[in-house]
Homo-oligomer: A and B are copies of this chain.
Amino acid sequence: MESILIIEDEIDIAKLVGFNFERNGYSVDIAHDGREGLEKILKNQPDLVILDLMLPEIDGYKILKKMQRDTRSHSIPVIMLTAKSQIDDRLKGLELGADDYITKPFSPKELILRAQAILKRNRVTPVAEDFLLGPFRFDKNALTFFVHDQPLPLSLIEFKLFLFLCQRAGQSQDRNHLLKVVWGYSDEIHSRTLDTHMKRLRKKLGKVGSFIETIRGIGYRVRQPE
């Protein structure tokens, strides 16, 4: 999710804008003065900054300048918020490095649109932190499991167990070892617990359950897909 930092001292405006961005699926943070704004920029590295020109402590121009100089912030896009009377040629030319500006009063809708345009322009394909194996996909952030890109709900233990096996596909995993890793048991066999879970996994997986191989006398293995 893309994050927006709004630097705006007028609380109502900040809230209004923030609310609208959030409703559009952005994560929003607000700073109420220049100092706080700059801190949050460097610390959180938002994907876009909405920056009011007139601010207490440090004004918008100064923030822009400082952002340019710091490698941590110089590539973060900025939309300036200005009153009509504040528009000057520098701003118009966007010489200072802002990516766009919008004059108060403005419609939140327009602001969102401009923001989206800029974000789209700057977007880098995010690295998906998914573990892939054959027809399986584990989204480790959303803790969601997919078979052929169809989500399949797994319980916590099932997810742990199967992820562990899939990450070691082709290698058989010892029963005790599985118990130790997934359950945290240090001792020996607990009845037929592991078998039962494997059964449930296989059942949920349906056809592709055949990827799970039983290694008699050892434990289980997920077959390495071709």
Chain B residues with CB under 8 Å of A170's CB are 29, 40, 43-44, 75
Contact of A224 among B44, B164, B171 (CB under 8 A): B44
- Beyond A140-B141, A155-B156, A177-B22, is A168–B43 a contact (Cβ under 8 Å)? no
| Identity of the chain B residue whose Cβ is nearest the Cβ of A22 in the assembled complex | B174
- A126 contacts chain B at the CB level, 8 A cutoff: yes
Q: What size tier do the contact residues of chain A reach?
A: 35 or more
- Nearest CB on B from A190, distance (A): 17
CB interface residues, A 142-176, toward B, < 8 Å:
142-143, 155-156, 159-160, 163-164, 167-168, 170-174, 176
CB interface residues, A 177-226, toward B, < 8 Å:
177, 181, 213, 215, 217-218, 223-224
- A113 contacts chain B at the CB level, 8 A cutoff: no
Chain B residues with CB under 8 Å of A171's CB are 3, 27-29, 44-46, 75, 124
CB interface residues, A 45-98, toward B, < 8 Å:
45-46, 71-72, 75
- A25 contacts chain B at the CB level, 8 A cutoff: yes
Let me know if B72 and A215 touch, CB within 8 A: yes
- Nearest CB on B from A187, distance (A): 14
Q: Given contacts A124-B171, A142-B181, could you give 11 more A-B pairs where the C-beta distance is less than 8 Å?
A: A3-B171, A27-B173, A44-B170, A72-B215, A124-B167, A140-B140, A140-B141, A141-B164, A141-B167, A143-B159, A155-B156
Q: Show 18 A/B contacts (Cβ-Cβ < 8 Å), sorted by A.
A: A1-B168, A3-B168, A19-B218, A25-B177, A27-B172, A27-B174, A27-B177, A28-B218, A29-B172, A45-B172, A72-B215, A124-B167, A129-B129, A140-B141, A141-B163, A141-B164, A143-B160, A155-B156
Nearest 9 interchain pairs by C-beta? A22-B174, A140-B140, A75-B170, A27-B171, A29-B171, A44-B170, A156-B156, A143-B160, A124-B168
